[in-house]
């Protein structure tokens, strides 16, 4: 029998810490959760070394799992490491969550998903910003209709800082607004890395619940620099249903799943899932095949967050033939995807340690 994270969370949520009577997830006591078929491993962070309810809690955990998921073997390890020993986000502490949107193949819709995810998070009331790290082919200036805009520069104690461009309350930074595209193609390794670092260290970001980070395709210098610069909270993978897109996405997923990198993948968006013609809305054409999104979600032990069809309006909104802020047939779908991203990121923050900035020799 296969177990899902949701089933496990439900059990953990039912277990009360004897002293406070709050559940283990609320108290963020469960960390480093790992599910391997029938085996569940996790650490339980105790408030102090001489915590009085250790035995009681141990029993409560085992009883709850025995009752609700009897076939699962529980390996709960009690530790007294304090939360304060975890790596804090010191680079840009005003940003709570960094959500990177990644894929293996190009052109599958990362930038489209990033922009729509940000718009829907904003509509749900979250403080959200967008960072375009696709330095070779930045899309955000076009999608947000700000091609001719330049970020303001502010001098603080003799040093220059970038101010993100405000798009109706969403701060956006893209290299496309800083240098001409012809100049970008000559950028190489160390310069690229320096620019990515500037986007955090030399940029005045406001307080944000989510910074949505649009990545270039694949697993190159930009992805590596990013995980060496900030603690990326979570990755959302984008794929089309097609086998070649999934195969490439698995390679990208493998990079984030490496022990040294360890950025949790919170879900998969299957984009261009099918086509519905305007003149025959009852028909669905599966142009790129079927099932790729689910396969990728299974491989990464995450969740299929949604299947976005090919809609002319999605393309037209990106090209500004209609307003990006206008609702269309995809609004509800992207709202649901945004809600699930919030839910899964919150769950990730409750059950796993903050991501560590990758240190490379
Ligand atoms: N669901 C959709 N319906 C219609 N058009 C779409 C959809 N998703 C993406 N597109 C269009 O497909 C093209 C590629 O999408 P997008 O630029 O988002 O992909 P990408 O993965 O960011 O590409 P790159 O790898 O070049 O960064 C764009 O022109 C976009 O407007
Ligand atoms: Mg893109």
Q: Secondary structure of 135-189 in the HEC alphabet? A: CCCCCHHHHCCCCCCCCEEEEECCEEEEECEEECCEEEEEHHHCCCHHHHCCCCH
**Residue 38 shares a structural domain with residue 172:** no
**Would you say residue 361 lies in a domain?**
no
pTM of the full structure: 0.83
Backbone Cα Rg of the chain: 22
Same domain, 141 and 274: yes
- In a domain, residue 337? The reply is yes
Least confident of 77-81, 121-125, 250-254, 306-310: 77-81
The mean pLDDT value of the chain amounts to: 91
**CB within 8 Å of 336: residues ≥ 6 apart:** 305, 306
Q: Residues 76, 157: one domain?
A: no
Tell me whether residue 297 is in a domain. Answer: yes
Per-residue confidence (pLDDT) for residue 196, from 0 to 100: 92
Answer yes or no: do 172 and 27 share one domain: no
Question: In terms of domains, do 204 and 119 share one?
Answer: yes
**Which CATH number fits the domain that encloses residue 52?**
3.30.300.130
CATH code of the domain containing 245: 3.40.50.300
How far apart CA 215 and CA 201 sit, in angstroms, is 18
pLDDT tens digits, 57-104 = 999 999 999 999 999 999 888 888 654 445 567 789 899 999 999 999
Residue 33 and residue 100 in one domain? no
* Cα–ligand 2 centroid distance for 107 (angstroms): 7
Beta-strand relationship, 128-132 and 30-36: unpaired
β-pair type (30-36, 39-45)? antiparallel
Indicate if 332 and 184 belong to the same structural domain. yes
3-state helix, strand, coil in the chain (%, to 5): 35, 25, 40
- Domains in the chain, number: 2
141 forms bridges with which residues in the sheet?
none
Q: Which domain holds residue 79?
A: 5-85
Domain boundary among 56, 85, 114: 85
* Span 239-270, pLDDT tens digits: 999 999 999 999 999 999 998 899 999 999 99
- In the predicted model, what is the mean pLDDT of residues 157-164? 90
pLDDT at 85: 44
18 Cα to the center of ligand 2, angstroms: 49
Q: 211 lies in a domain?
A: yes
Residue 199 lies in a domain: yes
Is the same domain home to 122 and 15? no
Query: What is the distance between the alpha carbons of residues 113 and 244, in angstroms, rounded to a whole number?
Result: 19
Helix axes 221-229, 189-201, angle to 10 degrees: 40
**CA 312 to ligand 1 center in whole angstroms:** 11
- Asked if 59 and 114 sit in the same domain, the reply is no
User: Domain ends where: 85, 115, 141?
Assistant: 85
Of 197, 144, 191, give the one whose Cα is nearest residue 167.
144
8-48 pLDDT, tens digit each: 999 999 999 998 999 998 888 898 888 888 889 898 988 88
Is the CB of 230 within 6 Å of ligand 1? no
Report yes or no on 234 lying in a domain: yes
Per-residue pLDDT at 84: 43
**Residues 60 and 189 grouped into a single domain:** no
Q: Is residue 280 part of a domain?
A: yes
Residue whose pair of structure tokens reads 């939360």 in the numeric block: 83
On the question of pLDDT at 171 being above 90, the answer is yes
Tokens (6 digits) for 209: 């619940």
The residue among 36, 64, 85 that closes a domain is 85
**Ligand 1 atom nearest to CA at 134:** 27
| Same domain, residue pair 245 and 292 | yes
Q: 46-56 pLDDT, tens per residue?
A: 888 888 899 89
Residues 183-235 pLDDT 10s: 666 667 778 889 999 999 999 999 999 999 999 999 988 999 999 999 999 99
Is residue 276 a contact partner of residue 312, using CB atoms and an 8 Å limit?
Answer: no
How much is the pLDDT for 185? 63
Residues in the chain: 361
The number of the ligand 1 atom at minimal distance from the alpha carbon of 113 is 18
Same domain, 163 and 56: no
- C-beta 355 within 6 A of ligand 1: no
Distance 139 CA to ligand 1 centre (A): 9
Please work out whether the CB of residue 218 comes within 6 Å of at least one atom of ligand 1.
no
In a domain, 90, yes or no: no
């Amino acid at each position: 029998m296969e177990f899902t994270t949701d089933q496990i969370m439900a059990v953990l949520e039912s277990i009360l810490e004897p002293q406070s009577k709050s559940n283990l997830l609320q108290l963020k006591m469960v960390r480093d959760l790992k599910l391997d078929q029938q085996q569940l491993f996790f650490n339980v962070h105790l408030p102090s070394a001489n915590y009085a309810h250790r035995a009681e809690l141990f029993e409560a955990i085992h009883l709850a799992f025995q009752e609700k998921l009897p076939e699962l073997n529980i390996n709960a390890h009690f530790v007294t490491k304090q939360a304060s020993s975890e790596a804090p986000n010191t680079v840009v502490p005003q940003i709570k969550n960094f959500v990177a949107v990644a894929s293996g193949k190009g052109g599958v819709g990362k930038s489209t998903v990033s922009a729509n995810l940000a718009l829907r998070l904003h509509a749900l009331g979250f403080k959200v910003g967008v960072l375009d790290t696709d330095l070779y082919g930045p899309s955000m200036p076009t999608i947000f209709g700000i091609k001719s805009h330049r970020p303001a520069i502010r001098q603080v104690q003799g040093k220059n800082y970038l101010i993100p461009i405000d798009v109706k309350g969403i701060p956006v930074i893209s290299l496309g607004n800083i240098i001409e595209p012809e100049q970008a193609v000559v950028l190489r390794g160390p310069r690229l890395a320096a620019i990515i670092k500037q986007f955090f260290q030399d940029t005045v970001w406001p307080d944000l619940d989510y910074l949505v980070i649009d990545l270039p395709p694949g697993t190159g210098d930009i992805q590596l620099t990013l995980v060496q610069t900030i603690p990326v909270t979570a990755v959302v993978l984008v794929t089309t249903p097609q086998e070649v897109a999934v195969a490439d996405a698995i390679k990208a997923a493998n990079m984030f799943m490496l022990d040294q990198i360890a950025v949790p993948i919170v879900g998969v968006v299957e984009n261009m899932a099918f086509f519905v013609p305007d003149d025959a809305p009852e028909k669905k054409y599966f142009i790129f095949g079927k099932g790729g999104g689910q396969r990728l979600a299974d491989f990464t032990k995450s969740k299929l967050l949604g299947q976005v069809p090919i809609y002319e309006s999605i393309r037209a909104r990106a090209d500004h033939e209609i307003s990006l802020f206008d609702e269309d047939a995809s609004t509800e779908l992207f709202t649901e995807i945004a809600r699930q991203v919030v839910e899964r990121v919150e769950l990730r923050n409750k059950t796993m340690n903050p991501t560590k900035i990758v240190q490379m020799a």
